[in-house]
A and B are shown apart, each in its own frame.
Chain A
């Protein structure tokens, strides 16, 4: 769905069938060039014939005139292949052809001098038309009025000049046909003066039009029309110069020098059109830059920036469509708003009428984002479409990459959770094996030793038994420490509350425990236990604390553990103890915040999700 100001520039329909009105564009290239060559040759011959006497009398002027005409015609022919510029192309061809026909009066016989005087400015009308029109689809109302007024003024004025003069008075030979209806030199002079003044006003108006256009246009339009407007200005100034020079010379001979200058200046007009055509073609080069720019990181912001730069439209906007991530929501939303196949656009705040809108879709046709640009870009449809396509590809890639990164992250998280779980289970099994196996065995042995002692009265044997029992006691204590280090049995049996009470009992400082008896997942409990032990040990070893509070809150979605001491503070978060805490917690996707201002104690808050 595209909104652009005029249908004239209709771009190809989505199905790809071209809708140009210009039949020329449908021609195969070789046929077109053959036809163009024929037209150029034909018009070239016509102009050469018209210019023949001029070429003999003032060869330089003749050559310049012919050259200017041919440049106009050639440029026009090339423009025929530009979309929507057929009118401008024909105007240039006509202007070029008529430009040399102006000098047909040099034949100095038959109706040619009269033709040259009456229609001598026709090429300028067509030139002005082309300059004002390109590359817009149509002229504005003031421009149309201007051109009609100019044409009328020129025709009327020149006819008046002709009828108030004779061939002789204008300097042409008597063999020329001249409709001298009201020969009056005084009147003729007056009319010529009025006509010239009028032309001066028209010239100034045209310059004003050019300046206004330059000021009004922006972005790509300005890049394209700036050379044309400059050439147009130069041509108008040159033509005005000629007109002034004509006032001081006879019509038939004319100011050769001024004509020569004007001819040379006029050549810049078609050249400027060529530059514009080339400029438009060169804009495609921006696409390569665009690809390079958004290849680095295709987030919405960088795509927006790249498109603005490439399309020279600072008002261009790229908006992400809500729910573009999930197909269901995007479709649902579109349906709810009662849209058709292009309803994605309806999700976007309605742009001003004169904005160009294009939706970027996934391969499955789901809208990802929408580009809203200046309507002027409709004239650079090819460039715009290509830029949007490039951005679309980049955005799609980014979306895919994000999806696969997310999937990979989920995978890593799941496997990490499994590894932690498996490690924990293994430790618990080890602890249980030690406790229920070796420890019970040794305890039974100790009981047997004691029982055996009852059966001997021998003091040496008794002493040996006693020693053995003491050593057995030491072995048992070591074994218990080992088992506890592998996994505290109290944690699996009594939960955090029991396990941390046990820890607190062994530490030489006042510990306030506020722990609910509720249970959490084994992995979460183990992590919280580890964190609490590490923090308590820090409080004893480094913080010089005299009291600590340990608070645990067990919610449905997460466990919160807070350990606050009244020690010296200033703990180093990068220190191994705190770093271990952070690692352990983040392994379960939890978060740790450590607050330890020097002199004000240390507060560690840990949140672990209970999924």
Chain B
């Protein structure tokens, strides 16, 4: 897998590159700001980009705006935003801006090399990946009223796994269910969240977005 990296911390960048290369990935470019990343990948498009949420010049949400620009130029490239902030608002902003083939992971959790590579694979294949610790917290959170309330506990588990980027087969393995049962749960989740039954791919993203936004409702 060919990857381009943008992170203003050279120390973290170098560590990450070591880790990725040890896992067999190839790093085609490493830069410290979003604008440089856009210039690099135009010349040599990678399979996916990994970028920091907070970068120069303002150290606020540069990662998200850079991701949006990249997606507008290239519909297929995988985009992984790394952050130290476990907030749903950044994740949902990112999903809003980018749509598919995107991931929001916490830097603390990328040190598991195998897991990182498999998440990058899912992103490259167009899926949406949200850090499991964010999903876990969202599932635990009590809320007053939300469309998520309509889901039963099993359906909520399925939605959480969808948010983490698992396929139906993966979810079936995680929850010790048959793939057909998972499929039935997924259909129920879409129906209860009021999503179109036919457009399965986009529905997964919309379901995850609804899930993330339930934090706000």
Fill in one digit per residue for A488-508: 1 if any B CB lies within 8 Å of its CB, else 0.
011011100110011011101
> B31 on the interface (CB 8 Å rule)?
no
A480 to B61, CA, bound (A): 18
Residues on A with C-beta less than 8 A from B15 are: 443-448, 451
Asked if residues B141 and A505 are in contact (CB atoms below 8 Å), the reply is yes
Among the stretches B4-12, B153-161, B169-177, the one at the interface with A is B4-12
Asked if residues B107 and A451 are in contact (CB atoms below 8 Å), the reply is no
Interface residues of A in 111-159 (CB under 8 A from B): none
Asked if residues A497 and B89 are in contact (CB atoms below 8 Å), the reply is yes
Asked if residues A436 and B59 are in contact (CB atoms below 8 Å), the reply is yes
A524 to chain B minimum Cβ distance, whole angstroms, is 18
Contact (A454, B87) CB under 8 Å given A432-B59, A441-B11, A446-B15 = no
Fill in one digit per residue for B136-156: 1 if any A CB lies within 8 Å of its CB, else 0.
011001111000000000000
A473 to B84, CA, bound (A): 12
Asked if residues A476 and B108 are in contact (CB atoms below 8 Å), the reply is yes
Query: Which of A455, A490, A510 lies in contact with B144, CB distance below 8 A?
Result: A510
Query: Which of B9, B12, B89, B142 lies in contact with A509, CB distance below 8 A?
Result: B142
Asked if residues A443 and B107 are in contact (CB atoms below 8 Å), the reply is yes
With CB as the reference atom, state the residue of chain B lying closest to A477: B108
> A271 on the interface (CB 8 Å rule)?
no
User: 9 A-B Cβ contacts within 8 A?
Assistant: A440-B7, A443-B108, A444-B12, A447-B111, A451-B21, A469-B111, A493-B60, A493-B61, A502-B85
Asked if residues B85 and A454 are in contact (CB atoms below 8 Å), the reply is no
> A513 on the interface (CB 8 Å rule)?
yes
Asked if residues A447 and B18 are in contact (CB atoms below 8 Å), the reply is yes
A499 to chain B minimum Cβ distance, whole angstroms, is 9
| A residues apposed to B, CB below 8 Å | 432, 435-436, 439-441, 443-455, 469, 473, 476-477, 480, 489-490, 492-494, 497-498, 501-502, 504-506, 508-513, 547
Residues on B with C-beta less than 8 A from A454 are: 22-23, 113
Residues on B with C-beta less than 8 A from A490 are: 85, 87, 89
Asked if residues B84 and A480 are in contact (CB atoms below 8 Å), the reply is yes
A436 to B110, CA, bound (A): 17
B23 to chain A minimum Cβ distance, whole angstroms, is 7
> B181 on the interface (CB 8 Å rule)?
no
Residue of B86, B138, B144 ringed by the most chain A CB atoms within 10 A: B144
A480 to B83, CA, bound (A): 12
Fill in one digit per residue for B30-66: 1 if any A CB lies within 8 Å of its CB, else 0.
0000000000000000000000001000011100000
With CB as the reference atom, state the residue of chain B lying closest to A440: B9
A600 to B49, CA, bound (A): 53
Query: Which of B12, B90, B143 lies in contact with A440, CB distance below 8 A?
Result: B12
Asked if residues A441 and B111 are in contact (CB atoms below 8 Å), the reply is no
Asked if residues B142 and A448 are in contact (CB atoms below 8 Å), the reply is no
Other A-B pairs beyond A447-B16, A513-B216, 16, CB < 8 Å: A441-B9, A443-B9, A444-B12, A446-B15, A446-B108, A447-B111, A448-B19, A450-B112, A494-B61, A501-B87, A501-B215, A502-B87, A505-B137, A508-B142, A509-B142, A510-B142
> B192 on the interface (CB 8 Å rule)?
no
Query: Which of A440, A450, A510 lies in contact with B111, CB distance below 8 A?
Result: A450
Contact (A505, B19) CB under 8 Å given A450-B111, A490-B85, A497-B89 = no
Asked if residues A547 and B9 are in contact (CB atoms below 8 Å), the reply is no
User: Using a Cβ cutoff of 8 Å, how many contacts connect chains A and B?
Assistant: 114
Interface of chain A, main secondary structure: helix
A475 to chain B minimum Cβ distance, whole angstroms, is 11
A449 to B13, CA, bound (A): 13
Residues on B with C-beta less than 8 A from A492 are: 60
A504 to B142, CA, bound (A): 9
Asked if residues A506 and B12 are in contact (CB atoms below 8 Å), the reply is no
Residues on A with C-beta less than 8 A from B112 are: 450
A510 to B113, CA, bound (A): 36
Query: Which of B22, B138, B141, B143 lies in contact with A451, CB distance below 8 A?
Result: B22
> B14 on the interface (CB 8 Å rule)?
yes
B148 to chain A minimum Cβ distance, whole angstroms, is 12
> B88 on the interface (CB 8 Å rule)?
yes
Residues on A with C-beta less than 8 A from B8 are: 436
A439 to B7, CA, bound (A): 13
Residues on B with C-beta less than 8 A from A497 are: 89
A541 to chain B minimum Cβ distance, whole angstroms, is 16
Residues on B with C-beta less than 8 A from A505 are: 87-88, 137-138, 141, 215
Asked if residues B88 and A501 are in contact (CB atoms below 8 Å), the reply is yes
A526 to chain B minimum Cβ distance, whole angstroms, is 16
B89 to chain A minimum Cβ distance, whole angstroms, is 4
With CB as the reference atom, state the residue of chain B lying closest to A446: B111
With CB as the reference atom, state the residue of chain A lying closest to B53: A493
Residues on B with C-beta less than 8 A from A504 are: 141, 215
Residues on B with C-beta less than 8 A from A509 are: 142
With CB as the reference atom, state the residue of chain A lying closest to B52: A440
- Cβ-closest 8 pairs across A and B: A447-B15, A440-B9, A444-B15, A451-B18, A444-B11, A454-B22, A444-B12, A451-B19
B202 to chain A minimum Cβ distance, whole angstroms, is 25
Query: Which of B14, B19, B59, B89 lies in contact with A501, CB distance below 8 A?
Result: B89
Residues on B with C-beta less than 8 A from A489 are: 54, 85
Query: Which of B12, B87, B216 lies in contact with A447, CB distance below 8 A?
Result: B12
A511 to B143, CA, bound (A): 6
Asked if residues A501 and B111 are in contact (CB atoms below 8 Å), the reply is no
A446 to B90, CA, bound (A): 24
Residues on A with C-beta less than 8 A from B113 are: 450-451, 453-454
A38 to B176, CA, bound (A): 137
A447 to B11, CA, bound (A): 10
Contact (A447, B110) CB under 8 Å given A498-B89, A508-B142, A510-B142 = yes
With CB as the reference atom, state the residue of chain A lying closest to B11: A444
Residue of A435, A477, A492 ringed by the most chain B CB atoms within 10 A: A435
Residues on B with C-beta less than 8 A from A473 are: 108, 111
A513 to B54, CA, bound (A): 26
A492 to B54, CA, bound (A): 12
Residues on A with C-beta less than 8 A from B19 are: 447-448, 450-451
